[in-house]
Chain A
Amino acid sequence: MSHTEKQVSAGELEKTRGRELERTRSRSVFAPNVDIKETGDELIVYADIPGVPEDRIDITVENGVLTLRGEVPETVEPEKYAPVLEEYDQGDYERAFTLSNEVDRENIRATLTNGVLVIHVPKAGPAKSRKIQVSSG
C-alpha cells in the first residue's frame, strides 16, 4: 500500500458500539447489511432496509457519527392471517458508523430504491485534497 493510499484509508468507517439507551418501540432491531465505498470526493453507504417506507427513515450525523434508523410497519395483518412458517423475523433497523474524514454535513443526500437506502456523504473541502507532508530530520 502506497503512502497516499494510507492517507485515504483514514476515512474508513467503523461501527460504533455501546449504545445502551432503550428504545420506546418494543421490537427487534437489526443492523442492516451495508456496502460502503469511497470515491475521490464522497463516501457512499448502501444499506438493505426492506420494509422501511421513505418517511420512516432517520439519518443523522452528529459528532462524527453517521447513524441510520428505519422503522418497519407491520406487513401481515395479524387479525386476518395466522402465521404458518416464519423464516425471518421482522424488525426495525439501526446502525451507526464513525466518520473519520471531515464530511460536508450540509450536502448529505439519500435515496431509497426497492428497499435499499443509498447515502452519499460528500467529503468536506479541505479533507478532500489534503496531503500531509512528511519532513525528514
Chain B
Amino acid sequence: MLHRNSPYSTARWDPFSELTHLQRAINRAFDSRIGHRTAEYPPLNVAANENEVLVTAELPGVDPKDIDITVQGGSFTLKGRRKAEERKENERYHRQERSSGSFARTLELPYNLDAEKVQASLKNGVLRVVLPRAEDDKPRKVRVES
C-alpha cells in the first residue's frame, strides 16, 4: 500500500493475526446474497491501540437510519441497507455502476468490548466506529518487587 508507512507494521506481536483468516470464514457463513460479487461488503479497515479498536467503512449512499450496529462480547456486527435510486419513466441510464441492497459484516475481536461506550458516526459516507476494550478484560500490569 502506497501511503501507509506504519512504524508498527513489522516485527510486532499482533493479537489480530488470526483475524483475517477468521474473518473470511465468518463472512462466508453470514453472506447469503445470491449472485453478488464474492468480496465482502462493505470492506472494513480496522486499527487499534491498547484501549480501543477503530473500524471504518465506506458506505456511500447509506442513510444513517439504515445502519445497525451490534456489539456482544468480542464481536462487532454491522448491518445495513443501501436504497436504490428511484427510476422514472422518462429516464435512460447510460451507466449503472453503483449497487444497492443489504449487507452484513461481523468482526470477532481478540478481546471483549465495552458495548456501552461504543461510538459510531457517519460522515460524508464514511462510517467510523470506536470500540473500547472492556475494562475488566484489559491486561493487568504486575509490579516486580526487588
The answer to whether B128 touches A85 (Cβ under 8 A) is no
Give the interface of B toward A (CB within 8 A): 1-4, 6, 8-9, 12, 14, 16, 19-20, 23, 40, 42-49, 53-54, 56, 58-64, 85, 88, 90-98, 122, 124-126, 128
Q: Which residues of A contact B61 (CB under 8 A)?
A: 48, 114-116
Which residue of chain A is the closest to B61 with respect to CB atoms? A116
Query: Contacting B92 at CB < 8 Å: which of A8, A34, A76, A81?
Result: A8
The 8 A-B residue pairs with the shortest CB-CB distance, nearest first, are: A115-B125, A50-B125, A81-B47, A87-B43, A115-B60, A82-B8, A50-B58, A88-B43
Interface residues on chain A, number (Cβ under 8 Å): 41
- B interface, by DSSP: helix, strand, loop or mixed? loop
Query: Contacting B90 at CB < 8 Å: which of A13, A28, A35, A39?
Result: A39
- Which residue of A13, A35, A40, A80 has the most chain B CB atoms within 10 A of its CB atom? A35
Assembled-state Cα–Cα distance A90/B96 (Å)? 23
Does A96 sit within 8 A of B, measured CB to CB? no
Assembled-state Cα–Cα distance A36/B2 (Å)? 31
- A interface, by DSSP: helix, strand, loop or mixed? loop
The answer to whether B95 touches A87 (Cβ under 8 A) is no
The answer to whether B45 touches A12 (Cβ under 8 A) is no
List 25 A-B residue pairs with CB atoms under 8 Å apart, sorted by A's residue number: A26-B2, A34-B95, A35-B96, A36-B93, A37-B91, A37-B92, A37-B94, A39-B88, A48-B60, A49-B60, A51-B126, A81-B54, A82-B8, A82-B47, A82-B48, A83-B6, A83-B9, A85-B19, A85-B44, A85-B45, A87-B43, A87-B44, A112-B124, A114-B61, A115-B58
